[in-house]
Amino acid sequence: MSAIRHALTTRRADDFAGWYQEVVSAADLAEESGVRGCMVIKPWGYGIWERMQRLLDARIKDAGVDNAYFPLFIPLANFTREAAHVEGFAKEMAVVTHHRLIADGKGGLVPDPEAKLEEPLIVRPTSETIIGDAMARWVQSWRDLPLKINQWANVVRWEMRTRMFLRTSEFLWQEGHTAHETSEDARIETMRALEMYRAFAQDQCAIPVIAGEKPENERFPGAVETWSIEAMMQDGKALQAGTSHYLGTSFADASGIRFQDREGTQQLAHTVSWGMSTRMIGGLIMTHGDDDGLRVPPQIAPWQVVILPMLRGDDGDAALLEYCEALKIAATKEWAFDEKLRILLDSRPGKVAAKRWDWVRRGAPVIIEVGPRDMEQGRVSLLRRDRLWNAAGKADFTNPQREEATGSLSAVLADIQASMFAGAVEQRDARIERGITGFEQLAAFFAEDQHQPGWAEVQWARPTGTELEQVVERLKALKLTFRNVPLDAAAADGPCLFTGAPAVERILVARAY
RNA sequence: CGGGGAGUAGCGCAGCCCGGUAGCGCAUCUGCUUUGGGAGCAGAGGGCCGCAGGUUCGAAUCCUGUCUCCCCGACCA
């Protein structure tokens, strides 16, 4: 037993699900709203989302994709054109049927039967259909292609079982929709989006991911190919953190996205869609959180450095605040990751210890405390969130001179970013098992008594249809799912674990969120 | 959506079985003491007991319905 007094009451190792919920509330990320599956995202949580938006949006724009906004409501008829797509979403759709309320005579309000909509509207679960509709108007000739549109929006899927950030009925995301002249161009865009997500997750969120293709049974409804990035959470489960779909021509056919090609012939466009959502915040928590709360990678942190003056409510406060202001101004001139540092001087009244632990739980990368003694000696007390505790089980402060601290901040932040990623990679790589060749062996690897088994990468023959369904059922009995076929996996060189036929590739098997 | 558990102060909980003035710890506020690594003492404020009905002289407590959350399933780009 360690003597460390952690900032949270639930240990990751004891109760991962309970710990997750405690982080969400203790780090001030979000709270329940009273509506099933809908959450209030609080300023610190939303600040993290804004950072993700800003960084990913820059990548999207760099790829020549334009932002636009499409309506929340979609006419039912519009949605019903692509059969597989409809079937995939029909069970989780919110429907608007009335446009007016009327008094019920008992002090309440009910939908006015007189105000029933001729045609119900659905609340978008995704916007393929309505954007496809627009694209059909915008595309006439091959010169109009490629057409690349992105929107940042909320979507609604009526989930049976919800969890904060991981699966909510309403969530925020970006959805990119592109239309192309050829299948080749569309596939290139599909892979570009996938690579964009991989780089964003790893280089900015410090979340290691494996990019690969989803098997047939895990495809987006109506898609020809679905690709994903998969991240391993600290409990060994997989989280799909971003997806990119090559949709072929079926959506173009359903929406009427046609163009005259270079020979003057009418052709269907090839479409692609790709998305990343607030679920990424759940991934951030389960990748970087610890028993003291969240740890936010510096590139994602709304505030990278929080300065806490030790105010005493006496005459000394003014000078101390002045000292901290000077520190803040100097630090704000420093850069890291090609952006100015984001520094908060938290001078609200209150005990410094209480405020310190608030920021530890929220996961600010660097906390700088300044007391009268620091000021006298021209120094500060600096605490790194990624290395909180010293060997004695105390908060591990260092005491650089003020100028030295300011000058070193960008290097410290870069180091925190790098070490968080390296730590996550190490944890993940240690838990990917590549030597499993038989189903019994697979079952043993994922046996219930094994606490955090991680993932298995196995060889398979890529069965399809009912043969695949049988394999999926066998896995389901073990609560396992296929994640993806990693792009960079080694070539197959043995029999399929499931069918015994010669394997054609390697696929990841894991429990998943 | 099925099975189980829960909802009482900002947070964590007791009270409910057996109906009778709303409690505890932490947090908050005030005062005093303390003052560099999660302070101490004293006092104070804060409640549609999830919501709606019902039974009753009287409901946090009993009954019915309903909403929300958690766990297990089913479902799930």
State the nucleotide closest to A479 in CA–C1' terms. Answer: B73
Residue A106 scores a pLDDT above 90: no
Name all contacts of A479-482 with Cβ < 8 Å and 24+ positions apart. Answer: A479/A446, A479/A511, A480/A442, A480/A446, A480/A509, A480/A510, A480/A511, A481/A218, A481/A238, A481/A509, A481/A510, A481/A511, A481/A512, A482/A214, A482/A215, A482/A217, A482/A218, A482/A507, A482/A508, A482/A509
* Domain residue limits, chain A: 16-288, 305-412, 432-510
For B1, nearest residue by CA–C1' is: A160
Comparing A449 with A209, the larger pLDDT belongs to A209
Per cent of chain A over pLDDT 90 is: 85
Residue A1 scores a pLDDT above 50: no
State the nucleotide closest to A31 in CA–C1' terms. Answer: B69
**Residue–nucleotide distance: A378 CA to B12 C1' (Å):** 42
Angle in degrees, 0-180, between the axes of helices A43-62 and A279-288, rounded to the nearest 10? 110
| pLDDT of amino acid A13 | 87
Written as one string, the DSSP assignment of A300-327 is: T-S-SEEEEE---SSTHHHHHHHHHHHH
SS3 for A493?
coil
Q: Which CATH number fits domain A432-510: 3.50.50.100, 3.30.110.30, 3.40.50.1100, 3.40.630.30?
A: 3.30.110.30
Written as one string, the DSSP assignment of A331-343 is: HHT-EETTEE--E
| pLDDT of amino acid A451 | 66
Average model confidence (pLDDT) across chain A: 94
pLDDT tens track for A30-83 = 999 889 999 999 999 999 999 999 999 999 999 999 999 999 999 988 888 888
Nucleotides on strand B lying under 7 Å from protein C-beta: 1, 11, 27-29, 35-39, 67-77
State the nucleotide closest to A159 in CA–C1' terms. Answer: B76
A432-510 has the same fold as A305-412? no
pLDDT tens track for A285-302 = 999 999 999 999 999 999
**Residue–nucleotide distance: A287 CA to B44 C1' (Å):** 44
Q: Which of A92-106, A256-270, A385-399, A497-511 has the lowest mean pLDDT?
A: A92-106
Q: Which of A102-116, A181-195, A211-225, A450-464 has the lowest mean pLDDT?
A: A102-116
Token pair in block for residue A323: 């000292």
Task: State phi, psi for A419 to the nearest 5 degrees.
Answer: -75, -30
SS3 for A346?
coil
| pLDDT of amino acid A80 | 85
| pLDDT of amino acid A110 | 85
Token pair in block for residue A482: 């296929």
**Residue–nucleotide distance: A512 CA to B4 C1' (Å):** 23
SS3 for A190?
helix
pLDDT tens track for A238-284 = 999 999 999 999 999 999 999 999 999 999 999 999 999 999 999 99
| pLDDT of amino acid A393 | 87
State the nucleotide closest to A374 in CA–C1' terms. Answer: B36
Count of Cβ atoms closer than 10 Å to residue A316 Cβ: 14
**Residue–nucleotide distance: A329 CA to B73 C1' (Å):** 56
| pLDDT of amino acid A82 | 86
State the nucleotide closest to A155 in CA–C1' terms. Answer: B77
Which class does domain A16-288 fall in?
Answer: alpha beta
State the nucleotide closest to A164 in CA–C1' terms. Answer: B69
SS3 for A41?
strand
CA-closest candidate to residue A182, choices A264, A271, A245: A271
Residue A105 scores a pLDDT above 90: no
**Residue–nucleotide distance: A48 CA to B55 C1' (Å):** 52
pLDDT band at A495 (very low <50, low <70, confident <90, very high): very high
What is the Cα gyration radius of chain A? 26
| pLDDT of amino acid A392 | 87
Q: Tally the C-alpha atoms within 13 A of residue A301's C-alpha that lie toward its C-beta.
A: 32
What torsion do the CA atoms of A190, A196, A198, A201 make, to the nearest 10 degrees? -140
pLDDT tens track for A115-160 = 999 999 999 999 999 999 999 999 999 999 999 999 999 999 999 8
Residue A335 scores a pLDDT above 70: yes
Q: Which CATH number fits domain A305-412: 3.40.50.800, 3.40.50.150, 1.10.20.10, 2.30.30.40?
A: 3.40.50.800
**Residue–nucleotide distance: A24 CA to B65 C1' (Å):** 33
For B77, nearest residue by CA–C1' is: A220
pLDDT tens track for A361-412 = 999 999 999 999 999 999 999 999 999 999 888 899 999 999 999 999 999 9
Residue A464 CB contacts under 8 Å (≥ 6 apart), including other chains? A216
In whole angstroms, what is the distance from residue A113 CA to residue A135 CA?
A: 36
pLDDT band at A312 (very low <50, low <70, confident <90, very high): confident
Residue A116 CB contacts under 8 Å (≥ 6 apart), including other chains? A97, A98
**Residue–nucleotide distance: A62 CA to B72 C1' (Å):** 46
Whether the CA torsion A289, A292, A295, A301 is positive or negative: it is positive
CA-closest candidate to residue A246, choices A196, A305, A178, A148: A178
For B75, nearest residue by CA–C1' is: A160
**Residue–nucleotide distance: A326 CA to B32 C1' (Å):** 35
State the nucleotide closest to A214 in CA–C1' terms. Answer: B77
The strand ranges marked E within A225-378 are 225-232, 238-248, 258-260, 266-268, 270-277, 305-309, 335-336, 339-340, 343-345, 366-370
| pLDDT of amino acid A454 | 93
For B70, nearest residue by CA–C1' is: A18
Comparing A452 with A183, the larger pLDDT belongs to A183
